[in-house]
């Protein structure tokens, strides 16, 4: 196996149009002094996410941005999975919020579906976030990692920090939802540490070990 490719001081495209993700990825990159530009700032189109896994969709977004910008590009594909809904919404997490990005509705739908299936038990409420990160270069090379955090789907939603499904996710070992945590608590990670708390920070810690830092 060839050794991982490292970032060599180039500007990095953050290939996301989601403001919540963009903010978190930039916060995680900040200690490394890497200059970033977002796909939106470059006016890049959002490619269609046709993959059936988080990793496939991250690769689609990272390669499209790297080719178009002729720069290395980092993409995150992530989602929220609920055991009692057989892992849904999963790769459809963003789509459940509809075109108006109404995550209040998406969270309510999940709760109603759990109740309708009679799956509102503690086992049915087991849930997890996954983040797949893909760092792609214009020549087609890629480095890919994943991170996951397990916890409980709680109802009603708690807190108004973070984004997306954060207010209904209580990570194992904590008594506050992601929606009640500051960004740094949710990341739970600093350079030099092996593991973070959030799925994104955990994936990021793996990527740092391989490609920069």
Q: Which of 79, 151, 171, 188 binds ligand IMP (CB under 6 A)?
A: 79
Is 11 in contact with 36 (CB distance < 8 Å)? yes
Q: Does 164 bind ligand IMP (CB under 6 A)?
A: yes
Q: x/- site string to ligand IMP, residues 119 to 148, per CB under 6 A?
A: ----------x-------------------
The H-or-E segment that residue 28 falls in is helix 19-29
Tell me the HSE value of 154 on the side-chain side, using a 13 A CA sphere. Answer: 20
Q: Does 165 bind ligand IMP (CB under 6 A)?
A: yes
DSSP state, 100? T
Nearer to ligand IMP, 5 or 88 (CB): 88
Nearer to ligand IMP, 6 or 73 (CB): 73
* Phi (first) and psi of residue 128, to 5 degrees: -155, 150
The conformational region for residue 187 under phi > 0 = left, psi -120 to 50 = alpha, else beta, is: alpha
Q: Which of 163, 176, 210, 213 binds ligand IMP (CB under 6 A)?
A: 163
Q: In what order do the strands lie in the sheet with 142-153?
A: 36-38, 12-14, 73-82, 126-136, 142-153, 169-171
Whose CB is nearest to ligand IMP? 164
Q: Which of 166, 197, 202, 207 binds ligand IMP (CB under 6 A)?
A: 166
CB of 198 to ligand IMP, least distance (A): 6
Catalytic residues: 77
Give dist(CA 66, CA 14) in Å, integer: 10
The conformational region for residue 173 under phi > 0 = left, psi -120 to 50 = alpha, else beta, is: left
Q: Does 177 bind ligand IMP (CB under 6 A)?
A: no
Q: Which of 72, 147, 157, 162 binds ligand IMP (CB under 6 A)?
A: 162
Q: Which residues sit at the interface with ligand IMP, rule CB under 6 A?
A: 18, 49, 77-80, 93-94, 129, 162-166, 178, 198, 200
């Amino acid at each position: 196996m060839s050794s991982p490719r490292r970032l060599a001081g180039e500007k990095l495209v953050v290939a996301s149009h989601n403001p919540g993700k963009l903010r978190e990825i930039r916060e995680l990159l900040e200690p490394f002094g890497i200059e970033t530009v977002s796909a939106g700032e470059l006016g890049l189109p959002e490619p269609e996410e046709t993959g059936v896994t988080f990793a496939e969709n991250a690769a689609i977004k990272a390669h499209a941005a790297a080719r178009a910008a002729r720069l290395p590009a980092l993409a995150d594909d992530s989602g929220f999975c609920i055991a009692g809904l057989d892992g849904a919404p999963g790769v459809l997490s963003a789509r459940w919020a509809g075109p108006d990005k109404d995550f209040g509705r998406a969270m309510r739908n999940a709760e109603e579906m759990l109740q309708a299936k009679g799956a509102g038990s503690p086992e049915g409420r087991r849930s997890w976030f996954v983040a797949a990160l893909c760092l792609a270069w214009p020549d087609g090379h890629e480095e890919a990692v994943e991170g996951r955090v397990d916890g409980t789907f709680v109802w009603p939603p708690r807190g108004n920090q973070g984004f997306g499904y954060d207010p209904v996710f209580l990570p194992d070992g904590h008594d506050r939802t992601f929606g009640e945590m500051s960004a740094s608590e949710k990341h739970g990670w600093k350079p030099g540490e092996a593991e973070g708390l959030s799925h994104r920070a955990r994936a990021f810690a793996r990527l740092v070990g391989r490609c920069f830092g």
